Chain A
Amino acid sequence: MTDHPLSLHVPEPGCRPGDEPDFSDFEVPKAGAVRRPAIDEAPEKMRDMAFSIVRVLNRKGEAVGPWAGTLSGDELKQGLRDMMTLRHFDDRMLKAQRQGKTSFYAQHLGEEAVACAFRRALEDGDMNFPTYRQAGLLIAGGYPLETMMNQIFSNARDPLEGRQLPIFYSSKDHGFFTISGNLGTQFIQAVGWAMASAISGDTRIAAGWIGDGSTSESDFHAAMVFASTYKAPVVLNVVNNQWAISTFQGMARGNAGTFAARGHGFGIPSIRVDGNDFLAVHAVAKWAAARARAGHGPTLIEHVTYRAGAHSTSDDPAAYRTKHEFDAWPLGDPVARLKAHLVTLGIWSDERHIQADAEILDEVMAAQKKAEACGTMISGPAPSPRSMFERVYAEMPDHLRRQRQEAGY
C-alpha cells in the first residue's frame, strides 16, 4: 500500500457566470416514452421511473403516450389561466417590493406548472404542506388574490395579522398549511397529517413539498422513514428547480443519482416528471394520489424544473450563474408549452392568448388596488402591539396579561 494523502471532493456546477450555458449531460427522454405502471405495482419493479422523466407534451405541442389524457380542454384552459395569473401576480408583487410596499418576495418564474397542475389532482379536503414557492396551489384552488396580497402587505386585512413573513400564506380551508421559515419541517408534518387521516379512518390524503437543496435536511429523510414504515397516504414532492440560492442542485445529492432515486432506499415508488409539462405533472400527481387513496402508501415525485428568477428579492443570481441559462434550459417555458398544446388542439389562438393575458393582468391589478386600499408596509394603519400578546396560547395566561398592561397597550 502506498501512503496516498487523502483529499475531498468539491462539487461544482457545469457552468458559471461568463460561461456558455451547458446542459449537455442532462438527458431528456422523448415525450410519451416512459411507461405508466399500475398503481399497485411493486416499488422494486419500477426503479427505472426514478432515472427517466415522464413527459407528455412533444415538440409539436401534442399530448402523447400512456400518461396523456387526464385533463379536459376546459381544465387545460383553466390551467393556463392559473399559470398566467401566477406570473402576473409575481410580476406585480416584485414591483411592489421595489416600491417598499412589502419587505420580501420570492417568485415562481419558470416553475408555475408544478403547483398549478398538482392542485388539480387533489380533492378538496386534501392537505398540502408547502414551501414558499407553491403559491400555484392557492391560485389553482381559487384562493382570493386579494387575500394573498393582504398577507404580503401585512395590512389591516392580513389574515395572519402582520406576524408572518410575506408570502408565507396559510389557509387550512384551502388545504394549504403552515409554511416554515426553517427549511424541511413541513415534509415530516405532511407524513404525520397523513398518518392521522389513516388512523382516524378518513379518506383525505396529504402532500408534502420540499426544494432540491432542502432534501439535505434530516427532515426529508425522516419523513421517508415514517412514510415507508407506515405506508402513509402521502405524496412527497421534491421540486428540483436546479438551484438553492447560489448552490447548484448537484450539491445536495453528491452529483450522483437523482433526487427521486433517494426514495429507493426506503422502498418508496419514486418518479421523475417534467415539471414544465403541465399535463405530465398532472398525470403523475393523479397517479400518486390514486396510490395513496387506494392504500398503497407514499410516492416520491421529483419535479424537474428551473428557477428562472432570483431566489428572492434579497438575491442577485448574476453572481453565481450564467445569464442565459433559462433560455438554454431543455424543458422550456411551462406557459409557452401549454399554450402551444391548446393551439394544436384548436381550442386556443394567439389572439385569445393576448386577450386573456390582458384580462388576467386587469384582474391582478384590481386585486392589488383593493389590497393596497387596506394598507401596505408603507401606508395605512399598522397592527397594534396590543394584538401581539394574543394567540401565543389558546388562552392568554396571566403573565402575558401583565406584560401587556405594563407595556401600556
Chain B
Amino acid sequence: MAQMTYRDALRKALHDAMTEDEDVFVIGEEVGRYGGAYGVTKGLIDEFGPERLRDTPISEPAIVGTAVGAAMAGMRPVAELMYVDFIGMTMDQLCNQAAKIRYMFGGQIGVPMVLRTQGGTGRSAGAQHSQSLEAYVMHTPGLRLVMPGTVYDAYHLLRQALRQPDPVVFIEHKALYAMSDEVDLDAPPPDWGRAVVRRTGSDLVIVTYSRQVHYVMQAAEALAGQGIEATVIDLRTLNPLDFETIRAAVEPIGRAMVVSEGPLTAGVAAELSARITEECFDFLHDPVIRVAGEDVPISVSTALEAASVPSADLVAETARKMLV
C-alpha cells in the first residue's frame, strides 16, 4: 500500500507506461521542464529527457494534429491540453480525424493516442477554464472517454488508456489533483470499461463519475442518516459505457438518479437518463432524475461557481424529494 495523490498517481502511470513502452511520449505546452500546468509531468523530463517530454509552441490544434500523425506512424503519443476548454480548437483533428480514421481508411490505420486534459469547476477559473465538456466527446463515434474520480482509478485507467487501439480522451478533474488516498497498485487492476459500485442500498441508484462521485458519496452518507439507502455507481469510463452494471442495479430498485457536473441540456446525464428509461422502463417506479449543471457559463465568483453545479446537498435534497 502507498499513500499518494491523484496527481502522483497520474505521474506514476505515465512513468510506468514510458518505462515499459518506448513508443509512449508526452507532447504539450509546458509539459517538460515546467512539469505541466497542474504539475502532473513534474520531474519526468529528468528521467526521460526532452524528446519524450516534448514541450511545444502554443498551438492546441498542432499538438493534437501531430499526435494524430505520430499515432498513425505507430507511436503512442500522450497529448496534453492544459484545459479541456481548449478542446474546441482541436475539434477537427479530434472528431473529424482521430475518431474516424480507422473507419474511413478500411481499418488499415488506427490512432492509438491519449488526449490528457482536465476540466470542471472548483478553482474560480471562470467561463473559459472551468467547463465540463465531456458530452462533446461522448457524442462522437470513434472516441473513448475516461473520467477518473479516485486515485486508484487515475493510475489504472491511464495505464489502460495507453494500451487501447483507439483514441482515448482522458479528462481529469482540476479539483482532485491534491486528493490523497492509500492505494495498492499491485492489486489486480480493474477490468477496462467496467463501472464500479461504490456503495449499495435498496432505495435508489445514483449513477455518476469524476468529482461528483465524492459529492454523491457524501450525499449518500447523509441520506443513510435519514433512513434512505442509495446504491452509488461510478462509471469511470463513459465510453466504453458499462450499462450492464447500471441495469443490474436499477432493475431491482426501480429508482434512478444521474449526476453530472456538465450543463443539463443534452449532456451526459441526459443520455444516461434516456437509456435507463428506454431499457429499464418496466422496472421504474419514478421518472429518472437528472442532477446536472445549470445551463449557464461558469462564473469566477465562488458563490456563483458553486451554485452553478451539483453539490452534495443538492443531490441529497433531490433524492429525498424523489422518495417522499
Contacts and interface: CB of A to CB of B under 8 A. Distances in A.
Interface of A: 8, 10, 103-104, 154, 161-166, 168, 180-183, 213-214, 216-218, 244-247, 251-252, 319-320, 377, 382-385, 387-389, 392, 399-400, 403, 407, 409
A181 B30 contact: no
Most buried by B among A166, A218, A382, A388: A388
Contact of A162 (B61, B85, B304): B304
B125 interface: yes
A250 B304 CA distance: 40
Interface of B: 29-30, 33-34, 50-51, 54-62, 85-86, 88-89, 124-129, 264-265, 294-297, 299-304, 307-308
B304 A399 contact: no
Given A163-B300, A217-B58, A385 B307 contact: yes
Contacts of B124: 103-104
B299 A162 contact: yes
Contact of B129 (A8, A181, A384): A181
Given A165-B126, A216-B57, A218-B61, A382 B301 contact: yes
Given A162-B300, A251-B57, A407 B128 contact: no
B302 A382 contact: yes
Of A181, A244, A377, chain B has the most CB atoms within 10 Å of the CB of A181
B51 A10 contact: yes
Contact of A182 (B29, B89, B294): B89
Contacts, number: 117
Contacts of B50: 10
B283 to A, nearest CB: 27
Instruction: Across the A-B interface, give the 10 residue pairs with the lowest CB-CB distance, nearest first.
Output: A162-B301, A181-B128, A216-B57, A385-B307, A382-B303, A246-B34, A216-B59, A163-B299, A165-B126, A216-B58
B57 A163 contact: no
Contacts of B85: 181-182
A8 B51 contact: yes
A382 B301 CA distance: 7
A278 to B, nearest CB: 29
B296 A392 contact: yes
A403 to B, nearest CB: 5
A385 B58 contact: no
Contact of A218 (B55, B89, B294, B302): B89
Contacts of A377: 302
B58 A182 contact: no
Contacts of A164: 126-127, 300
A382 B300 CA distance: 11
A162 B305 CA distance: 10
A400 B295 contact: yes
Contacts of B33: 246, 319-320
29 contacts: A154-B301, A163-B127, A163-B299, A163-B301, A164-B126, A165-B126, A165-B129, A166-B300, A180-B128, A182-B85, A182-B86, A213-B58, A216-B59, A218-B59, A218-B89, A382-B301, A382-B302, A382-B303, A382-B304, A383-B299, A383-B304, A384-B303, A385-B303, A385-B304, A385-B307, A388-B296, A388-B308, A392-B297, A407-B294
Contacts of A163: 126-127, 297, 299-301, 304
A181 B304 contact: no
A407 B303 CA distance: 14
A164 B130 CA distance: 12
Contacts of A10: 50-51, 54-55
Contact of B34 (A218, A319, A400): A319
Given A388-B299, A389-B296, A181 B58 contact: no
A247 B50 CA distance: 13
A213 B57 CA distance: 7
Nearest to A390: B296
Contacts of B125: 165, 181
A388 B298 CA distance: 9
Contacts of B297: 163, 392
Contacts of B30: 245-247
B296 to A, nearest CB: 5
B233 to A, nearest CB: 25
Nearest to B304: A388
A399 B59 contact: no
B303 A383 contact: yes
Nearest to A250: B57
Given A383-B303, A388-B299, A399-B295, A252 B126 contact: no
A403 B263 CA distance: 11
Contact of B58 (A154, A180, A252, A403): A252
A181 B295 CA distance: 20
Quick one: which of B50, B56, B60, B301 has the most chain A CB within 10 A?
B301
Contacts of B29: 245, 247
Nearest to A400: B295
B112 to A, nearest CB: 21
A181 B51 CA distance: 29
Contact of B300 (A165, A217, A384): A165
A245 B301 CA distance: 25
| Among B30, B86, B265, B300: residue with most chain A CB under 10 A | B300
Nearest to B57: A216
B300 A389 contact: no
A403 B59 CA distance: 37
A165 B295 CA distance: 20
A384 B304 CA distance: 7
A247 B55 contact: yes
Contacts of A247: 29-30, 55, 57-58
A269 to B, nearest CB: 25
Contacts of B129: 165, 181
Nearest to A212: B58
B127 to A, nearest CB: 7
B295 A388 contact: no
